Structure 1
Amino acid sequence: MPKTDQSLNQDIIRDFRENNGQIKGTYPLSEPFKGVPVLLLHTRGAQSGLERVNPVAYLADENRLFVIASDAGGQKHPAWFRNVLAHPEVVTVELGTETLAVRPKILEGEERETFYQKMSVIFPVFIEYQQKAHPRLIPVVELIRQSEA
């Protein structure tokens, strides 16, 4: 990950943790994400085995959580998605002030399309990301709380 991406993530993570799970734009690089619903996704590195933390925009639909592995429309899946595939058993999220164990489920077909569309209504940039990523189909991941799994 380029240094600027690491700095961006670190600013968002600090802002999130200092403001009880909300992005207030406290730091220069976190300001564009002010008010965006973000969770902190904890994974284990697919190759390194080290813990990784990534801020990810999410959609809450009733009691369900969804994230999109867009990598801003890049041609490859983001590292966090590869980590989720490699080590689904250790995925947790910080949501607000809670830390939750979750089980990731990769959505397919109509279900994937439904939640990608819902996310695109809230964050229209995801429409552009899918166009940029073509032919890669951007994954949608449901994060199922372990108590519900």
Structure 2
Amino acid sequence: MDLPSVAELNEFNRVLLAIVQLSDSDDGCKVRSVIDLCSSLTFGGHGVDHFRTLKLCSYAGLSQMTKGKVKITELGQKLLDFNPNNYYETTEQQKGFVAEQLILQGPWQSRARDLFLSFSPNYNKLTNEVNPVLVAFFFSHPTLILAPKES
């Protein structure tokens, strides 16, 4: 599954907040109810694939979908804890949490590792540089770096 875009990351809050609002027990709520609630509000005049957002949240371990139902996980609740005002936009604290828990140590870890390994030290400039051939390749095939490796 592809790494979420910034717009999709902002949608994580909307979907997770909807799950919390609609859940009346530990069983969660219906997936269709979450999609309907999220679809009732449009921001920026563009439509969003809320089912894809639910799948991304599930893949990342923020929610759990089974048999047409969805519930928030402990990790998902931790993400919402960094959003005390229940904003739909991703907060700075949430960005750090996503980077640490989902990208560097989570489901997209192997892609982040591949990117970091593409850098090599330039001792003359006292910095690290990425191979320009790799950069051109990844930008012409962005899903190769953004999609997690299949197990």
Q: TM-score, normalised by structure 1?
A: 0.28
| Structure ID, larger Rg | 2
Relative to its length, the structure with more helix (as a share) is: 2
Q: TM-score, normalised by structure 2?
A: 0.27
Relative to its length, the structure with more strand (as a share) is: 1
